[in-house]
Amino acid sequence: MKEQSTSVASLERQLKKHSKAAKLEVWGRVVSFSALVLIVAVVVAIIGFVASKGIATFTTNHVSLWDFLTGKNWNPGIKDAHGKPEVGALSMIVGSFLITILSALIATPFAIGTAVFMNEISPNRGAKILRPVTELLVGIPSVVYGFIGLSVVVPFTRSVFGGSGFGILSGTFVLFVMVLPTVTSMSADALRAVPRFYREASLALGATQWQTIYKVVLRAATPGLMTAVVFGMARAFGEALAVQMVIGNAALMPHSLVDPAATLTSVLTTGIGNTVMGSLQNNALWSLALVLLLMSLVFNLIVRLIGRKGRLQ
Amino acid sequence: MFVNNDVQTNANDMLERHIVQPNDPQHPIVLATEDLHVFYGKSEALFEGDLQFAQNQITALIGPSGSGKSTYLRSLNRMNDRIATVKGRIMYRGVDVNQPDIDVYEMRRRIGMVFQRPNPFAKSIYDNVAFALRLRGVTGKKKLDELVEVSLRQAALWDQVKDDLGRSALGLSGGQAQRLCIARAIALKPDILLLDEPASALDPVSTSQLEDTLLKLKEQYTIIIVTHNMQQAARISEYTAFFNQGRVLEYDTTSHIFTNPRVQITSDYVSGNFG
Amino acid sequence: MHKAKLQNKIAIGSLYGISGLVVLILVALLGYILVSGLPQLSWHFLTAPAKAFLKGGGVGVQLFNSFYLLILAMLISFPIALGAAIYLYEYAKDNWVTSAVRTAIEILSSLPSVVVGLFGFLFFVVKLRLGFSILSGAFALTFFNLPLLTRSIEDSLRTVSENQREGGLALGLSRWETVNKIILPAAVPSILTGVILSAGRVFGEAAALIYTAGQSAPALNFADWNPFNISSPLNPMRPAETLAVHIWKINSEGIMPDAKAISSGSSAVLVIAILLFNFAARYLGKRLYKRLTSA
């Protein structure tokens, strides 16, 4: 009896010893968790730094937020008649929104149409040609789009619509081609997620293929399609170099689509290197970056809202 | 009146239980659960399962699906720790292993497990068996070779694979893969082997080979097996526990359960009237 | 009924038209890049240093910089992304903290790369005084790369069946050992595909680099591989214009007489590199998978 109780005690000791596996487990958790913390820290740091720099225009230089958002003149180095610096960002904000909305408006029907084609009408050709090509084009660097914009789109706009060729219109064309593969490939994913029996049930009820596509498939995929379009818009809004190369970079209120204009990103890319850290000119640029950052948060939020609504349905 | 009475009897049947714990000095108890309850979130999946398992014997856990038998089995070596809350005591040779300060990794080396679907790793046949040994400090090619061969022989797989131990284990047939998983488990020389419906994905020939293997393995290991297949339970096990709706309703020697069940529902189940 | 059929015909016809047009645009795009760019390519073009005011410069230094930055950025970002993906998929509980972390990663992935570049400028170039350098650029690219790489590795972990994890745990391995010795080896083909595809993205990125790695490419002495020498290709503290930045730079400044030819050639090199990355990813992924599963 005594012998048995000592053997139980020794087994218990063995089972309660911290094994090598248990030590490795603790180590693994700490290591992998630190990596995750690092990423979160990066996100927080980016938002924190850009925000603190971006609000300096308003806190340190005492520019009114209202003037910044609605002012039409952008000359941070010059003071206007009232002795206030000219830091009206409206022209760039309008420029950014215009090219984003216009390019999304053109790209959406093309992208969804192509996605429908490769998923519903000709899945064979879709899988063999269209899908790999669109996926490949998603990876083409934006400077290449910018260069083609400069050497093909700008001369084309100039000869067809007049003007210098640089402007909102050229920017819209370049962004249209640039977001097209992204939106197409995401739309195709959304359509692929619609269960097969939806289509079969509809066709069995005597609906034509188009009726099935329009009333059943597209409707069921609406949240996914909307997400695709919003993603495309976010990419267009944040694109810097390709737009900067073709838009003409004149921080003026756009009066026509073929006059040189500017976007938040184009002014940022050209300006940051030419201003002195801490000066009003520089702070004003950081405020533009902050607007850009906030808009990307807004796009993110929209995608989330769509996702939530999609799940509720 | 009659109808009422009938319902009453049925309700009584539900609670009627017959538990006979093994009592054979040749085969002492190595594992026992006391007052075991398992919860998934707030819902209780296992209400009580108080069983004792005899050394070097095969105990079969049978019952309809959803009866809690797999939940019970997976609680024994705490494979359910992340998804379920297990309350009660799991006495392994006198030590309660369901305590937070128990090193589950050391415990699982002593209480091994084989699953329903064969799950060989994406490694060579040799490495499938050798790799956990290496991680636990077994080194030396000779030693490893020997352990791999012994384990594969015990799992009755050696003759079929001895010439291509370097081949990927993912190319094995279902029956072979399941034997490999058994070899992998016994390479660590566990004390108890838990098997969760190990033959349910296998064809009849592989199943019968597997049963032969288990009968040989019980000379060295204590085996607890969940099975859907009552003939299998009858063929290989010494003891059988019948689970229904999260409770053990009957536990006795296998011959008793299949020839002379005391509980009505057990009788219905083993005679194929329900489940 | 008749009307529905007619409508069907018109609609399907227009869909053919639309997709035809899209294919045309995409093919024209690729075609233009290759047709205008391929004739520019030569050994001289790929290896010679650039000339600022004269014709006949090459992109040798820029090409080297692109690869050097790519490798550094991948070396920094891969372990971090791997660790984060492992924690998220294997350890994280399904609660609000995890969901907040996922949101943060999503935000990082949707930030415009110019914002990431500006942050890199502010933090590494100015605050940490690294200047316009390979190192600053590599960190900016890391931030740009982390969210997508993390997600792609997490997806790769998801492709490995849960029963492999159970198998490892049942042998008394810790979850960490199970992941490292069983799950990761099985997920290698898929992880590799994700890594190569993300490498393609990093290779072509410019906006995050113009204010971090800089816009100049000082001549390099390719005989000097001591990373502490200023003209050594390996020196991480030198400014390093990449191929993508080069295309932007010469088109924005336009002082190089053959800027267009150089841009065409550089664009073709970029696109071919991306094509190669894509094919390599598909081919290697498939091959490794085959090797892993077959006899």
Q: Which of A15, A20, A25 sits opposite B107 (nearest CB)?
A: A15
| Residue B44: strand pairing partners | B39
Nearest 5°: phi and psi at B45?
A: -95, -25
Within the 143-182 window of chain B, which residues sit less than 8 Å (CB to CB) from chain C? 164, 167-168, 170-171, 181
Query: Which residue of chain A is at minimal alpha-carbon distance from B30?
Result: A8
Is C156 exposed, middle or buried (CB count within 10 Å of its CB: 0-12, 13-18, 19+)? buried
Within the 219-238 window of chain A, which residues sit less than 8 Å (CB to CB) from chain B? none
pLDDT digits (tens, 9 = 90+) for A203-240: 888 888 889 998 899 999 999 999 999 999 999 999 99
Contact indicator for A247, A170 with CB cutoff of 8 Å: yes
Three-state DSSP state, B113? strand
Three-state DSSP state, C115? helix
Chains B, C: CB pairs < 8 Å: 71
Q: Taking CB atoms and an 8 Å cutoff, what residues of chain C touch B136?
A: 172
Contact indicator for A63, A55 with CB cutoff of 8 Å: no
Question: Which sequence spans correspond to the domains of chain C?
Answer: 41-293
Looking at the fold, whether A219 and A292 belong to one and the same domain comes out as yes
Residue C159 at interface with chain A, using a CB cutoff of 8 Å: no
Does C186 contact B117 at a Cβ distance shorter than 8 Å?
no
Nearest Cα to Cα of residue A90 among A251, A269, A308: A251
Fold designation for B18-120+196-271: Rossmann fold (3.40.50)
Does B106 contact A17 at a Cβ distance shorter than 8 Å?
yes
How far is C35 from C24, CA to CA, in rounded Å? 15
Q: Which of B31, B77, B93, B192 best probes binding to A when mutated, by most A CB atoms within 10 angstroms?
A: B93
Q: So what's the architecture of C41-293 in CATH?
A: Orthogonal Bundle (1.10)
Predicted pLDDT of residue A313: 55
Neighbours of A70 (CB within 10 A): 12
Could you give the count of Cα atoms lying within 13 Å of C92 in the half-sphere of its Cβ?
23
Q: Which of A27, A62, A97 is the C-terminal boundary of a domain?
A: A62
pLDDT digits (tens, 9 = 90+) for A72-94: 888 877 777 777 778 888 999 99
Chains A, B: CB pairs < 8 Å: 37
Which amino acid is residue A47, in one-letter code?
Answer: I
Three-state DSSP state, A76? strand
Task: Read off the pLDDT band of A3 (50, 70, 90).
Answer: low
Q: Taking CB atoms and an 8 Å cutoff, what residues of chain C touch A141?
A: 203-206, 244, 270, 274
Q: Taking CB atoms and an 8 Å cutoff, what residues of chain C touch B121?
A: 164, 167-168, 182, 186
Task: Read off the pLDDT band of A2 (50, 70, 90).
Answer: low
Q: pLDDT truncated to tens, each residue of chain B (275 aa)?
A: 333 333 334 444 455 788 888 988 899 999 999 999 999 888 888 777 789 999 999 999 999 988 889 999 999 999 988 888 899 999 999 999 999 999 999 999 999 999 999 999 999 999 999 989 998 888 889 999 999 999 999 999 999 999 999 998 998 999 999 999 999 999 999 999 999 999 988 899 989 999 999 999 999 999 999 998 899 999 999 999 999 888 899 999 999 999 989 888 898 998 887 65
Does B119 contact C173 at a Cβ distance shorter than 8 Å?
no
Predicted pLDDT of residue B2: 36
- Kind plus residue range of the DSSP H or E element containing B52: strand B52-54
Cα of B61 to nearest chain C Cα, Å: 19
Does C204 contact A234 at a Cβ distance shorter than 8 Å?
no
CB neighbours of B242 closer than 8 A, spacing ≥ 6?
B62, B63, B248, B249, B250, B251, B257, B261, B263, B265, B266, B269, B270
pLDDT digits (tens, 9 = 90+) for A238-256: 999 999 999 988 888 888 8
Nearest Cα to Cα of residue B189 among B227, B222, B161: B222
Looking at the fold, whether A102 and A149 belong to one and the same domain comes out as yes
State the residue for tokens 């400090």. B137
Does B170 contact C166 at a Cβ distance shorter than 8 Å?
no
Give partners of C (≥3 CB pairs < 8 A). Answer: A, B
How far is B59 from B222, CA to CA, in rounded Å? 8
State the residue for tokens 């890199």. C120
Does A40 contact C101 at a Cβ distance shorter than 8 Å?
yes
Could you give the count of Cα atoms lying within 13 Å of A241 in the half-sphere of its Cβ?
28
The interface predicted TM-score of the complex, written ipTM, equals 0.90
Within the 86-125 window of chain B, which residues sit less than 8 Å (CB to CB) from chain C? 105-109, 112-115, 117, 119-123
Q: Which of A8, A12, A19 sits opposite B105 (nearest CB)?
A: A19
Could you give the count of Cα atoms lying within 13 Å of B120 in the half-sphere of its Cβ?
26
How far is A142 from C245, CA to CA, in rounded Å? 10
Residue C13 at interface with chain A, using a CB cutoff of 8 Å: no
How far is B172 from A118, CA to CA, in rounded Å? 38
For chain A, give the number of residues.
Answer: 313
Q: How far apart are the first and last CA of chain A?
A: 67
Confidence (pTM): 0.90
Predicted pLDDT of residue C78: 97
Distance of CA C289 to the CA centre of its chain: 23
Contact indicator for B190, B93 with CB cutoff of 8 Å: no
Dihedral sign for Cα atoms in the order A275, A279, A284, A286: positive
Q: Taking CB atoms and an 8 Å cutoff, what residues of chain A touch B103?
A: 15-19, 21-22
How far is A300 from C109, CA to CA, in rounded Å? 10
Segment A25-47 shows an average pLDDT of: 96
In the 3-class helix/strand/coil scheme, how is A105-144 assigned residue by residue?
A: HHHHHHHHHHHHHHHHHCHHHHHHHHHHHHHHHHCCCHHH
Q: Which of C7, C34, C87, C241 best probes binding to A when mutated, by most A CB atoms within 10 angstroms?
A: C87
Does B106 contact A12 at a Cβ distance shorter than 8 Å?
no
Domain that holds residue A235: 86-310
Predicted pLDDT of residue B12: 46
Within the 133-192 window of chain B, which residues sit less than 8 Å (CB to CB) from chain A? 136-137
Task: Read off the pLDDT band of C295 (50, 70, 90).
Answer: very low
Predicted pLDDT of residue C293: 65
Residue B95 at interface with chain A, using a CB cutoff of 8 Å: yes
Residue A67 lies in a domain: no
Residue A211 lies in a domain: yes
How far is A228 from A114, CA to CA, in rounded Å? 13
Residue C198 has pLDDT above 80, yes or no: yes
Segment A171-189 shows an average pLDDT of: 94
Question: Which sequence spans correspond to the domains of chain B?
Answer: 18-120+196-271
Residue A81 lies in a domain: no
pLDDT digits (tens, 9 = 90+) for C62-75: 999 999 999 999 99
Segment C39-57 shows an average pLDDT of: 81
> Which token pair is B168?
């990927």
Looking at the fold, whether A21 and A149 belong to one and the same domain comes out as no
Residue A265 has pLDDT above 80, yes or no: yes
Does A16 contact B101 at a Cβ distance shorter than 8 Å?
yes
Predicted pLDDT of residue A311: 66
Residue A14 at interface with chain B, using a CB cutoff of 8 Å: yes
Q: What is the mean pLDDT of chain C?
A: 90
Does B164 contact C170 at a Cβ distance shorter than 8 Å?
no
Is A159 exposed, middle or buried (CB count within 10 Å of its CB: 0-12, 13-18, 19+)? exposed
Residue C51 has pLDDT above 80, yes or no: no
Residue B132 at interface with chain C, using a CB cutoff of 8 Å: yes
pLDDT digits (tens, 9 = 90+) for C257-278: 788 888 999 999 999 999 898 8
How far is A290 from B136, CA to CA, in rounded Å? 54
How far is A168 from A236, CA to CA, in rounded Å? 13
Q: Taking CB atoms and an 8 Å cutoff, what residues of chain C touch A277?
A: 126
Looking at the fold, whether A119 and A202 belong to one and the same domain comes out as yes
Lowest mean pLDDT among A123-132, C115-124, C201-210: A123-132
Q: Which of C163, C177, C295 sits opposite B167 (nearest CB)?
A: C295
State the residue for tokens 């894509």. C278
How far is A26 from A29, CA to CA, in rounded Å? 5
Is B108 exposed, middle or buried (CB count within 10 Å of its CB: 0-12, 13-18, 19+)? buried
Q: Which of C18, C21, C104 sits opposite A40 (nearest CB)?
A: C104
Q: Which of A62, A94, A112 is the C-terminal boundary of a domain?
A: A62
Could you give the count of Cα atoms lying within 13 Å of A93 in the half-sphere of its Cβ?
19
Task: Read off the pLDDT band of A270 (50, 70, 90).
Answer: confident
Cα of B23 to nearest chain C Cα, Å: 29
pLDDT digits (tens, 9 = 90+) for C211-240: 999 888 888 888 888 888 878 888 888 999
CATH number, domain with residue A158:
1.10.3720.10
Residue A17 at interface with chain B, using a CB cutoff of 8 Å: yes
The DSSP 8-state label assigned to residue A100 in this structure reads: H
**The total number of structural domains that make up chain A:** 2
How far is C104 from B102, CA to CA, in rounded Å? 37
